[in-house]
Amino acid sequence: MIFSKIGSLPFHQYVWIDSSFVYKEPKGWIEGMLIGLTSIPGRSWGFNVILQSGGALYRQIPPQAIAFSSSPEPSWSLDQSCLWNCYSYDFTIIHNPILEGMKMRSKIGPSLYEGQYLWSVTFLNDGWSRTPEQDKEFFFIKLNNGRITIQPTNRITFQDSSFIDNSFIPPLKLNETIYSCSESLEIPNSQDSIED
């Protein structure tokens, strides 16, 4: 499904919200239900939540204000929460059932953090997504420190001891090539049949 500016999540998440981002008189961490995302170019992802106390729908809460426990890692910045701003109003959310709950590792600054896969998002209808070296898929990761981070594929690895050998990560090449099947397709002339 393609969303423009606001999109629903593949499933809701019960979360804790730093009330200084939503209340005039903050009360620490409050409970809420994460239900959607907002994408506005030049801004960080915004989370749309229903607050447990009063049932208000509050939109565009920045990711550093979201936690998965009432006592997450205390100092968590916007830069740790997401590496890139949004660069299109249009996006699609991908929930890959094969990856559901899979352990992940993410490089955030100089540190490695562990967590688990939630879903990923990719932008559409923008100039960057049209070029292979700039096109990105952003993974939303529930970190073991109680926080969330949103990282591109070049900052994450998956963990699965039954299949993946994480003892060595080879240096990967940046994809800079556009591949197109039609460039090598030979069209038969009208005299030839498809079977020839």
Helices and strands of the chain, counted as H and E runs: 1, 12
pTM: 0.86
- Amino acid type, 133: E
- The angle at the Cα of 71, spanning 66 to 73, to the nearest 5 degrees, equals 70
- Encoding tokens for residue 17? 């919200």
Decide if pLDDT at 39 tops 60: yes
Decide if pLDDT at 32 tops 80: yes
Angstrom distance (rounded) from CA 15 to CA 24: 20
Angstrom distance (rounded) from CA 60 to CA 10: 18
Contacts of 8 (CB under 8 A, 6+ apart): 35, 36, 93
**Confidence class of residue 167 from pLDDT cuts 50, 70 and 90?**
confident
DSSP H or E stretch at residue 114? strand 111-123
Q: According to the model, what pLDDT value does residue 133 have? A: 74
